């Protein structure tokens, strides 16, 4: 299970485009027919075969292509938009759906939390390949030409799903840029990810419209809380002996700032890390933001734990039972972070939204 800690994953292997099965069969059929026909018919076959249909010939690129994308050290040139896509983890699927690419999805896997309401119907119409990361064989059975991974574990080599394995099968891959080993992620990375996926799928205008909408949401929320005192926020991901929390290099910290808050552990020079409970007490957060995701205990279990600790009883957020819930996916590069800014701003400064 994903533990909340970004894991740098670099795969320097090039990707290859797979020859569509139907095109390969029809090419083989033409060749066989021509081989057994009479000389006159053979000549007709040769004359009627366009250069792009001959074995080994490349078809002309689609409009707006070729597009070359460098992703985590893997450079891929797309001559046409991918047609059959499997997403591993929830946030890549939501990004695809937000770009209007439901017709390209042939499989999803590993839902982390409730789907964004306006995307739920489309998401549920796509076959779910696995509750966790699917096996390499399961992905192959969906016959994708593109696999989009959300966490580094999507392409875990020790589970047979390396990017090289997919490349050897003729399948292109793309990994969310948050897992390319970058030390700091920001809202700008969210916008850049949307634009990159838009270019791969030949819908750059849709991508730009989506970025404009999401940026507008962030700006509107920021305007509503401008001038209000920053609310001290403690992020509780998990942990009992120590608090596993979001550090200064996390997108969560920027979300809190944009929403009119202040991460009390922004000085932690990590994306995620441990903090002692003594530190939590000393920093006196007024709000606890609970990260919600499968496999780390329910939100109610986390609240119960925090409220049961005598040492935390005088922490303002605990004493006042002031909790907000953020799905982990809302803090990852994708379409959710701007929505998280809106939701969190309302929770931190309710008086500004009446």
Task: Spell out the domains of the chain, with CATH numbers in brackets.
Answer: 21-53 (no CATH), 67-210 (3.40.50.1980), 228-353 (3.40.50.1980)
Q: What are the residues facing 141 on neighbouring strands?
A: none
* Residue 212 confidence (pLDDT) above 60: yes
Q: What is the DSSP letter of 246?
A: E
Tell me whether the omega of the peptide bond preceding residue 13 falls within 30 degrees of 0, making it cis.
no
Range in 1-10, 79-88, 106-115, 246-255 the model is least confident about: 1-10
Q: Which residues in 203-308 belong to E strands, given as ranges?
A: 231-236, 243-246, 261-263, 272-275, 287-292
Q: Looking up tokens 């020790």, which residue turns up?
A: 158
Contact 302, 290 (CB under 8 A): yes
Report helix angle 187-200 to 204-225, nearest 10.
Answer: 160
pLDDT tens, 81-101?
999 999 999 999 999 999 999
pLDDT digits (tens, 9 = 90+) for 305-333: 999 999 999 999 999 999 999 999 999 99
Cα distance between residue 254 and residue 337, in whole Å: 10
- In angstroms, the CA 340 to CA 256 distance is 9
pTM above 0.75, yes or no: yes
Using alpha carbons, list the distances in angstroms from residue 178 to 61, 139, 150, 162.
30, 23, 8, 17
Question: What is the rounded distance in angstroms from the CA atom of residue 208 to the CA atom of residue 238?
Answer: 36
Mean pLDDT of the chain: 86
The pLDDT score that the predictor gives to residue 354 is 83
């Amino acid at each position: 299970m994903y533990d909340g800690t970004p894991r740098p994953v670099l795969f320097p292997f090039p990707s290859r485009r797979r020859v569509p099965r139907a095109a390969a069969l029809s090419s083989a059929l033409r060749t066989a027919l021509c081989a057994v026909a009479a000389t006159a018919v053979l000549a007709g076959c040769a004359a009627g075969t366009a250069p792009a249909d001959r074995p080994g010939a490349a078809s002309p690129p689609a409009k707006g292509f070729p597009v070359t994308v460098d992703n985590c050290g893997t450079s891929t040139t797309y001559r046409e938009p991918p047609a059959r896509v499997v997403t591993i983890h929830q946030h890549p699927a939501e990004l695809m759906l937000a770009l209007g690419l439901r017709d390209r999805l042939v499989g999803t896997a590993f839902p982390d939390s409730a789907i964004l309401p306006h995307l739920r119907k489309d998401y549920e119409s796509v076959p779910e390949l696995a509750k966790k990361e699917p096996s390499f064989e399961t992905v192959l059975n969906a016959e994708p030409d593109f696999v989009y991974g959300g966490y580094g574990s999507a392409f875990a080599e020790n589970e047979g799903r390396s990017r090289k394995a997919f490349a050897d099968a003729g399948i292109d891959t793309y990994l969310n840029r948050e897992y390319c080993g970058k030390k700091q992620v920001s809202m700008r990375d969210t916008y850049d990810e949307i634009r990159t996926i838009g270019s791969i799928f030949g819908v750059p205008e849709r991508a730009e419209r989506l970025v404009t909408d999401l940026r507008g949401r962030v700006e509107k929320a920021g305007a509503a809380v401008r001038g209000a005192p920053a609310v001290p926020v403690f992020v509780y991901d998990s942990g009992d002996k120590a608090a596993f929390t979001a550090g200064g290099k996390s997108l969560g910290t920027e979300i809190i700032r944009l929403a009119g808050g202040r991460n009390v552990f922004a000085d932690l020079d990590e994306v995620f890390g441990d903090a002692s409970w003594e530190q939590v007490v000393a920093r006196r957060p007024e709000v606890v933001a609970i990260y919600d995701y499968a496999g780390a205990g329910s939100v109610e279990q986390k609240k119960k734990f925090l409220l049961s600790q005598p040492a935390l009883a005088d922490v303002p957020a605990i004493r006042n039972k002031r909790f907000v819930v953020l799905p982990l996916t809302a803090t990852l590069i994708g379409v959710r972070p701007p929505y998280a800014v809106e939701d969190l701003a309302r929770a931190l400064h309710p008086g500004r939204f009446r």
